[in-house]
Amino acid sequence: MKIAIPDLISNSYFPAIAAVELGFFREEGLDMELELIFPVNKTLEVMRDGGIDFVGGSAHSVPSAFGEWKGAKLLCALAQNTYWFLVLRKDLGARKGDINAIKGLTIGAAPLVELGLRRLLHDSNIDLVRDNVTICPVPSTFLGETKNFGVAAAKALEAGAIDGFWANGMGAEVAVRHGTGDIIIDARRGDGPPQALNYTMSSLITTDHLIQSQPDVAAAAIRAIIKTQKALSANIALATEVGRKVFPKAEAELIADVVARDIPYLTPDITPQFVKGMTEFQRHMGLINGSPAYEDVVATRFSHLWRE
């Protein structure tokens, strides 16, 4: 079987990576292969078309391939809350929480990820036109063949190609440690408007077809993720072990520090409050038109596994 993620050198989907590399999928009877497919809409399209079985990705992005939440569901959270950072050039001297510092700047963000920044700015009374804010992809020269967005964004910032980025914790960590960027907004920990917490979350996603035809496989995948979350919470050194297998050397030595800060958020539950907030966000950003119920979004037949 295959699980794909849209960003590899990252903390965003790390429980999925670790579940493969630490053998927890195998322990649950699943011979799981990890694949990188960027960007997230492409990841989901490949799953829709039968090329992969699971996605570790952003929950809000599902309707990009499964319109109005028809054909796929969230199985569990990889980690709670919107998980992106706004990082700006260090020489701007912007202070943490000062969203107004973004005015007049060019910010790099990945497809569909950028919707979170657009909504956050709207909810913070920042108008892209009035305040001269440009949100754009990171130049492809920085993405290279591996297309790991956060690290690429940090490189683009260091090169002066952008003024800031909206990306994952690894990208933020690299920028801060290199002395080129400052974290202005940490969405996961509530720096932005309150509703930003529920724009999205890092999730394990699969198709309705797999849920209906192989419910035992779906349940096994959830159990593997939960075991991974608990293992990382108990022994953060496992993150370095995994990083050294799949990351470049520099990022491999950083990942434990980044994941350690995420430990309080490594829980599998998906609450009705989250789904309500996410679907409101999706409607505002034009990803859906309707009002899907909790059961339309989450594979509730497996929710008891979150509490075992």
pLDDT tens by residue, 287-308: 999 999 999 999 999 999 999 8
Asked if 228 contacts 24 with a C-beta cutoff of 8 angstroms, the reply is yes
Q: What is the dihedral of CA 29, 268, 58, 23, to 10 degrees?
A: -30
Percentage of residues of the chain with pLDDT beyond 70: 99
Q: What is the pLDDT of residue 147?
A: 58
Specify the long-range contacts of residues 89-95, CB closer than 8 Å, at least 24 apart. 89/157, 89/163, 89/164, 89/180, 89/181, 89/182, 90/179, 90/180, 90/181, 90/182, 92/163, 92/182, 94/182, 94/184, 95/184
Residue holding tokens 């929480």? 97
Residue 251 has pLDDT above 70, yes or no: yes
**Token pair recorded at residue 189:** 């920990």
What are the residues whose beta carbons fall under 8 Å from the beta carbon of 108, sequence distance 6 or more?
135, 136, 137, 138, 153, 156, 157, 161, 162, 164, 165, 166, 167
DSSP for 17-66, written as a single string:
HHHHHTTHHHHTT---EEEE-SSHHHHHHHHHTTS-SEEEEEGGGGGGTS
- For the residues 94-119, what does the mean pLDDT come to? 96
In what helix (H) or strand (E) does residue 85 lie, and over which residues does it extend? strand 85-89
Name the pLDDT band for 181 (thresholds 50, 70, 90): very high
Delimit the domains of the chain by residue range. 2-81+200-307, 85-197
Rg of the chain taking only CA atoms, in angstroms: 18
Distance separating alpha carbons of residues 165 and 180, to the nearest angstrom: 12
- Which CATH code fits 85-197? 3.40.190.10
Residue type, 145: E
Residue 97 has pLDDT above 90, yes or no: yes
Model confidence over 109-149: pLDDT tens digits?
999 999 999 999 999 999 999 999 999 998 888 876 555 78
- Which CATH code fits 2-81+200-307? 3.40.190.10
Whether the domain at 2-81+200-307 and the domain at 85-197 fall into the same CATH topology: yes
Q: What is the pLDDT of residue 142?
A: 87
Q: What is the mean pLDDT of the chain?
A: 96
Residue type, 98: D
